[in-house]
């Protein structure tokens, strides 16, 4: 390490993402059992600032972690373990510094929205940035993002996809050049403009804590009787979606998105133990979306993560028709009428 190391600070803002082909099932050092593709969101972001200063004794991870401005012991322990892992293999600088990490979300913690993708990607980007500065590593943008994506993946698989603008894919796929289990790759270059205009209105059907953590959910795939065919299906759908994203077929996109969401929930229903992650309101919203589509012929589609909330996906050109429908028919299904309006975005930003 350099002798003239100084104190410093970096700030990064990184968004959440919504998977269209779902990552569900993992192995080894946080590697996916199938490829996945997501759209990068814009409004649901984590802002993370890391103040760093050299410390006398090199050896242990040393951090102060605050979440939403308050010290958070549970998160601190989680982040210490994560940093100890990174220090061994990826970021040796970590043990030579004391890090003060402050992390804040723009979306409510109790909204039932998973924050691991935005929070772990924001932290990973900040750490990579510090490494590049103090070790003087001349990363180009692609290398920097691949490293940040790798570090984010180790924190949370879906976070690997959040470092890219518009859309990303993660997981080695024989037909997709450059794809990897180690890190996600950006697919924005091949994206048809219609998908850059996509909205994601998140209907908060329930703001309760998830009934099964992602980690426990992934583990259930090990004994799921359908896991092998599921992984094959997900890789086939990844290939299909990869082509749809450049071709711009919104209806094919929407059909695939809905099939994937319902497959994820079906997998959880037939796991042992079995989980039903939808609420009555989720089903009512799905039925209402399907009726709206049948009546209006407008391309409004849905997806869900591993929980009851419904993500409404649609191109910007139908936003006025969707707004009326959402207010009249869907808002009453939401907890306290809460809907988080988001859209496809430009990816992370360095803010300081």
For the window 245-274, what string marks contact with ligand DP6 as x by the rule CB under 6 A? -------------------x----------
Under rule CB under 6 A, residue 118 binds ligand DP6: no
**Judged by CB, which is closer to ligand DP6: 113, or 244?**
113
Buried b / exposed e along 11-25 (16+ C-beta atoms within 10 A): bbbbbbbbbbbbbbb
C-alpha span between 66 and 237 (Å, rounded)? 40
Binding ligand DP6 (rule: CB under 6 A), the pick from 173, 199, 218, 265 is 218
SS3 label, residue 185: strand
**Judged by CB, which is closer to ligand DP6: 11, or 309?**
309
Task: Read off the tokens for 54.
Answer: 């050299």
- Is residue 28 a contact partner of residue 154, using CB atoms and an 8 Å limit? no
Task: Compute, in degrees rounded to 10, the torsion defined by CA atoms 257, 262, 268, 271.
Answer: -110
Q: Minimum CB separation from ligand DP6 for residue 261, in Å?
A: 9
Under rule CB under 6 A, residue 23 binds ligand DP6: yes
**Judged by CB, which is closer to ligand DP6: 114, or 312?**
114
Q: Minimum CB separation from ligand DP6 for residue 226, in Å?
A: 16
Parallel, antiparallel, or unpaired for β 97-105 and 62-67? parallel
Under rule CB under 6 A, residue 167 binds ligand DP6: no
Per CB under 6 A, the segment of 39-47, 75-83, 210-218, 279-287 that binds ligand DP6 is 210-218
Under rule CB under 6 A, residue 157 binds ligand DP6: yes
Tally Cβ neighbours within 10 Å of residue 291: 12
- Is residue 159 a contact partner of residue 115, using CB atoms and an 8 Å limit? no
Q: Minimum CB separation from ligand DP6 for residue 23, in Å?
A: 3
Binding ligand DP6 (rule: CB under 6 A), the pick from 14, 22, 184, 234 is 22
Binding ligand DP6 (rule: CB under 6 A), the pick from 6, 71, 143, 215 is 215
**Judged by CB, which is closer to ligand DP6: 24, or 242?**
24
Q: Which residue has the tokens 């990897």?
A: 180
Tally Cβ neighbours within 10 Å of residue 6: 10
Q: Minimum CB separation from ligand DP6 for residue 133, in Å?
A: 28
Backbone dihedral region for residue 23 (phi beyond 0: left; psi -120 to 50: alpha; all else: beta): beta
Q: Minimum CB separation from ligand DP6 for residue 213, in Å?
A: 8
Per CB under 6 A, the segment of 18-26, 41-49, 53-61, 240-248 that binds ligand DP6 is 18-26
Binding ligand DP6 (rule: CB under 6 A), the pick from 19, 50, 289, 339 is 19
Under rule CB under 6 A, residue 162 binds ligand DP6: no
Continuous H helices in 90-178:
116-134, 141-155
Q: H/E element holding 103? A: strand 97-105
C-alpha span between 98 and 63 (Å, rounded)? 6
The DSSP code for 205 is S
Q: Minimum CB separation from ligand DP6 for residue 76, in Å?
A: 18
The DSSP code for 350 is E
Under rule CB under 6 A, residue 29 binds ligand DP6: no
C-alpha span between 242 and 225 (Å, rounded)? 27
Applying CB under 6 A, which residues contact ligand DP6?
19, 22-24, 30, 36, 114, 116, 156-158, 214-215, 218, 264, 305-306
């Amino acid at each position: 390490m350099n002798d003239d190391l100084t104190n410093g600070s970096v700030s990064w803002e990184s968004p959440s993402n919504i998977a269209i082909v779902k990552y569900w099932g993992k192995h080894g050092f946080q590697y996916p059992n199938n490829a996945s593709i997501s759209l990068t969101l814009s409004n649901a972001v984590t802002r993370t600032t890391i103040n760093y200063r050299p410390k006398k004794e090199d050896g242990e991870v040393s951090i102060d972690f605050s979440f939403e401005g308050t010290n958070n012991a549970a998160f601190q322990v989680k982040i210490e373990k994560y940093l100890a892992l990174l220090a061994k293999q990826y970021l040796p600088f970590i043990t030579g510094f004391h890090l003060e990490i402050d992390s804040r979300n723009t979306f409510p913690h109790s909204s039932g929205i998973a924050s691991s993708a935005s929070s772990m990607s924001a932290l990973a980007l900040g750490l990579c940035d510090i490494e590049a500065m103090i070790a003087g590593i001349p990363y180009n943008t692609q290398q920097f993002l691949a490293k940040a994506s790798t570090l984010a993946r180790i924190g949370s698989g879906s976070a690997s996809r959040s470092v890219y603008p518009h859309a990303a894919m993660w997981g080695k796929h024989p037909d997709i050049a450059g794809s990897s289990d180690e890190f996600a790759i950006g697919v924005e270059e091949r994206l048809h403009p219609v998908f850059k205009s996509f909205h994601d209105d998140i209907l908060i059907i329930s703001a309760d804590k998830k009934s099964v953590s992602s980690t426990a959910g992934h583990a259930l795939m090990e004994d799921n009787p359908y896991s092998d065919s599921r992984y094959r299906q997900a890789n086939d759908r990844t290939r299909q979606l990869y082509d749809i994203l450049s071709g711009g077929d919104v209806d094919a996109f929407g059909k695939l998105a809905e099939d994937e969401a319902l497959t994820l929930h079906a997998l959880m229903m037939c796991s042992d133990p079995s989980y039903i992650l939808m609420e009555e309101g989720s089903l009512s919203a799905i039925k209402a979306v399907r009726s709206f589509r049948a009546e209006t012929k407008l391309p409004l589609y849905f997806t869900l993560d591993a929980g009851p909330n419904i993500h409404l996906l649609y191109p910007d050109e139908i936003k006025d028709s969707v707004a009326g429908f959402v207010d009249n028919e869907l808002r009453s299904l939401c907890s306290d009428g809460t809907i988080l309006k988001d859209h496809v975005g430009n990816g992370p930003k360095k803010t300081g």
